[in-house]
Amino acid sequence: MDRTLRHTDDLAALAGATPPPQTPLLTVDVSVSYGEKPVLRRAALTVGEGEILGLIGLSGSGKSTLGLAVLGLAGLRGARVEGRILFEGRDLLRLGSRELRRVRGQQIAFVPQSPLAALNPALTLGTQFREAWQAHSSEAGWLGRVFELLEQVNLPASEGFLRRLPQELSVGMAQRVLIAMAVLHRPRLLIADEPTSALDVITQAEIVELFRRLNVGAGTGVLYISHDLVSVAGLCHRLSILADGEIVETGETRRVFAQPEHEHTRKLVAAIPGLGSDVHFFGFGPGASR
Amino acid sequence: MKTGIRRTALGVLATLALAAAGAGYLAPAPYDRQFREEPNAPCSRRFPLGTDELGRDRLSRLLYGARVSLLLAPSAALLATVAAALAGGAAGWLGGWTDRALMSGANLVLAMPWMFLLIAVRAALPLNVDPGVSLAVTVVLLGGLGWVPAARALRAGMLRLVRSDFLLQARAAGCGTARLFFVHALPNTKGLLAAQFWTAVPLFLLAEANLSLLGLGVAEPMPSLGNLLRELESFHHVRSQPVVLAPLVVLVALVTCCQLAFPAREEGMR
C-alpha cells in the first residue's frame, strides 16, 4: 500500500465519525430559474437532524442559489423558486413573509462566503449583535450570550471588542464573528455558503473545526456549501454532488470518496491532487468502471 | 498643502458665520433704520461702508444680510437633502413602480420652467409680503426645486446597498423591513447625504442671490447677500462708490470657502 491509498483513507477517515442521523430536518426538492434560464432542476437533498451535509458543485452550478432559496432570499437576486422546502415538517415556500422572517436567523441561520462584505461597515459589532438578537428576542441578556459565543469562537469577549467596526477585523475574525452571530439563537440548521473560500489554509482549518464543534456540541445541522471536495472531507457526514442543475449523487463521505458513482463525482475525486491517477490504479477510482 | 487650504477656508467661513451670527451686537444700526439726512453717504467713521440711497447703514445691512443668507442656504440645503433622502432612498429601496413614479416626478421637476414658477409664486404673494414669509417661501422653493440631483445620487447609492452582502446577511438574521431600512441601510448613506448637503449650500447661496437680484427672493427691507447686490445694477454707482461691491466679495468668499472646506467627495458612500 502506498502513500496515495493512505491519503484516500485519511480523507475518508476524517469524515464524521458518527453515522448520519435518520430524522430529516430539511428536505429540499426545488427547481430554480433566473428569468427563462433554469439554474436548478428538481434538485433534491435532505439534511438530517444534527447532520453535516456537504453540497458540492462547481462555481456557478447553483449551490449558493439553493442556500438562498432555503432562506427564502433567492427572490432578492431575481430567482423564481418552485417545488418544496420542508423544514421540520413545514413547507417554507408556502410561508408568509412574516413567518419566514421568524424562521430566518432563529431556526435557520446563514454563514456567508465573504465575511468582510457581510458585516455592515457603518455599525459596530455590538450594534450588529444586538440587532441580530432583537430580531427574535426582547429579552435583556443578549450581552452575556454574545460574550459566551465570542469565547467559543476564540475572539475577545469584551465590550472593547464590540465597539470595533468591521473594517478593524481580519477576514478570519470577521468570519468568526459571523459564525457567533449565526448561532446566537441556537438555530437547528446552519447554511454555510463557502465559509472558508476567502481564508488562508490555517484559518480555513480553524473555521472547519469550529463548525465541527458546533455540530457536536449543540447538535446543529449544517448544510455546508463548497466547491472544494477536500475541505469538506473531514467535516461532512454525507455529500451531495450538484452538477448541471441537478443533484447527481448523494452518499456518505467515505463512500463518495472511495466509490464515486456518477461521472461528475469521479472527475471531482480525480481532480484532487495526488489522488486521481493512483485511485485508478487501486481499482475504485474514476477509471475503474470504464 | 490641501489641509492648509481647507483650514484657511474653514477659518474664513467660521469668521464670517460668527460675524453674521453676532450681527445684533456688531452692527452699528438696525438694518432698516434710515438716516434720511444722509443718503448715499461715502465711507466714514460713522458709516464704515457708507449708506445706501435710502440712508441705511451698509455695514449693518451687510452683517444682517450675511446672517439671512447663511441661515437660508443651509436650511434650504437641509430641506433638499431630507427630501432627497426620502424620495431617492424610497425609490432605490422599494424599486418597481414606486421607483418609476418617484423618478418620473424628479424628471418633471427638472423639466419644469422653474423661473416661470418662481415668478408665478411671487405674483401670487401680496406686494407687501412679510419679510419672514418671503424668507420661508424662498427656503421652500429652493429646497423644493433643488432635491432632484441629490435624490438621484441617493437612489443609485441605495440600489447598491439593497444588493449588498451585509443587507442580505441582516435579512438572513431575520431583521424586519423597517429596521433594515433605518438601522442597517440609512447609516450607510450618511457620507453621501453629507456630501449632497455641502454641495447644495454654495449652490443655494448663489441661487438666493440670483432670485433676490430679480426681486423674487428675500423681500425688502430685510437684507440678504442677494438683494444687497441690487446696488450693483448701476455701473456709475459702482464706479463712484466701489464699496458697494462688498456684498459680492462676501458672497464669493463664502461660496469659494464652502467649496474648499467641503469638497464634493466621490467616495461619499461607504
Output Rg (C-alpha) for chain A, integer angstroms.
19
Q: Does A178 sit within 8 Å of B169, measured CB to CB?
A: yes
Interface confidence (ipTM) of the complex = 0.84
Q: Does B164 sit within 8 Å of A135, measured CB to CB?
A: no
A149/A133 Cα distance (integer angstroms)? 13
Candidates B161, B167, B171, B181, partner chain A, best to mutate (most A CBs within 10 A): B171
pLDDT tens digits, one per residue of B185-237: 999 999 999 999 999 999 999 998 888 877 788 888 889 998 899 888 888 88
Predicted model pTM: 0.78
Element (DSSP H or E) covering residue A86: strand A79-87
Whole-number percent of chain B with pLDDT over 90: 58
Is A43 in a helix, a strand, or coil?
strand
Distances (CA, A) of A173 to A80, A193, A232: 34, 17, 21
A244/A89 Cα distance (integer angstroms)? 28
Band the pLDDT of B106: cuts 50, 70, 90.
Answer: very high
Q: Does A117 sit within 8 Å of B174, measured CB to CB?
A: no
pLDDT for A278 equals 44
From chain B, the residues in CB contact with A101 under 8 A are: 174, 176
Q: Does A105 sit within 8 Å of B172, measured CB to CB?
A: yes
Q: Which of the pair, A230 or B45, is modelled with greater confidence?
A: B45
B168/B170 Cα distance (integer angstroms)? 5
Lowest-pLDDT range of A22-31, B27-36, B230-239, B242-251: B230-239
pLDDT for A22 equals 65
Band the pLDDT of B166: cuts 50, 70, 90.
Answer: very high
Lowest-pLDDT range of A14-18, B110-114, B152-156: A14-18
pLDDT for A280 equals 36
A181/A183 Cα distance (integer angstroms)? 6
- Structural domain boundaries of chain B? 72-253
Band the pLDDT of B265: cuts 50, 70, 90.
Answer: low
Q: Does B168 sit within 8 Å of A73, measured CB to CB?
A: yes
Through-space distance between the first and last CA atoms of chain A, rounded to whole angstroms: 23
From chain B, the residues in CB contact with A76 under 8 A are: 168, 171
pLDDT tens digits, one per residue of B170-185: 999 999 999 999 999 9
B235/B254 Cα distance (integer angstroms)? 24
pLDDT for A199 equals 81
From chain B, the residues in CB contact with A122 under 8 A are: 187-188, 190, 270
Band the pLDDT of B1: cuts 50, 70, 90.
Answer: low
From chain A, the residues in CB contact with B172 under 8 A are: 71, 73, 104-105, 109-110, 112
A119 touches chain B (CB under 8 A): yes
Closest Cβ–Cβ partner in A118, A119, A135 for B174: A135
A239 touches chain B (CB under 8 A): no
CB–CB contacts below 8 A, A to B: 75
**Beta-ladder partners of A225:** A55, A193
What's the whole-number average pLDDT of chain B?
89
pLDDT tens digits, one per residue of B7-17: 999 999 999 99
Candidates A120, A181, A185, partner chain B, best to mutate (most B CBs within 10 A): A120
Q: Does A73 sit within 8 Å of B173, measured CB to CB?
A: no
Q: Does A122 sit within 8 Å of B270, measured CB to CB?
A: yes
Q: Is the per-residue pLDDT at B267 higher than 70? A: no
Kindly report the nearest CA distance between residue A228 and chain B, in angstroms. Answer: 22
CATH code: domain B72-253 is: 1.10.3720
A188 touches chain B (CB under 8 A): no
Kindly report the nearest CA distance between residue A118 and chain B, in angstroms. Answer: 4
Q: Report mean pLDDT in 10-residue bins for chain A, 290 residues.
A: 46 50 86 93 93 91 93 91 94 94 95 94 96 91 93 93 96 94 94 88 86 88 90 89 93 91 90 56 33
pLDDT for A21 equals 54
Angle subtended at Cα B97 by Cα B195 and Cα B83, rounded to the nearest 5 degrees: 30
From chain B, the residues in CB contact with A64 under 8 A are: none
pLDDT for B236 equals 85
* Contacting A residues, span 136-155, partner chain B, CB-CB under 8 Å: 136
For chain B, give the secondary structure using H, E and C: CHHHHHHHHHHHHHHHHHHHHCHHHHCCCCCCCCCCCCCCCCCCCCCCCCECCCCCEHHHHHHHHHHHHHHHHHHHHHHHHHHHHHHHHHHHHHCHHHHHHHHHHHHHHHHCCHHHHHHHHHHHCCCCCCHHHHHHHHHHHHHHHHCHHHHHHHHHHHHHHHCCHHHHHHHHCCCCHHHHHHHHHHHHHHHHHHHHHHHHHHHHHHHHHHHHHCCCCCCCCCCCHHHHHHHHHCHHHHHHCHHHHHHHHHHHHHHHHHHHHCCCCCCCCC
**Packed helices A171-182 and A201-218: angle between N→C axes, nearest 10 degrees:** 10
pLDDT tens digits, one per residue of B52-105: 989 999 999 999 999 999 999 999 999 999 999 999 999 999 999 999 999 999
pLDDT for B124 equals 83
The cell numbers describing A274, all together, are 495526488
A104 touches chain B (CB under 8 A): yes
From chain B, the residues in CB contact with A100 under 8 A are: none
pLDDT for A271 equals 84
pLDDT for A284 equals 34
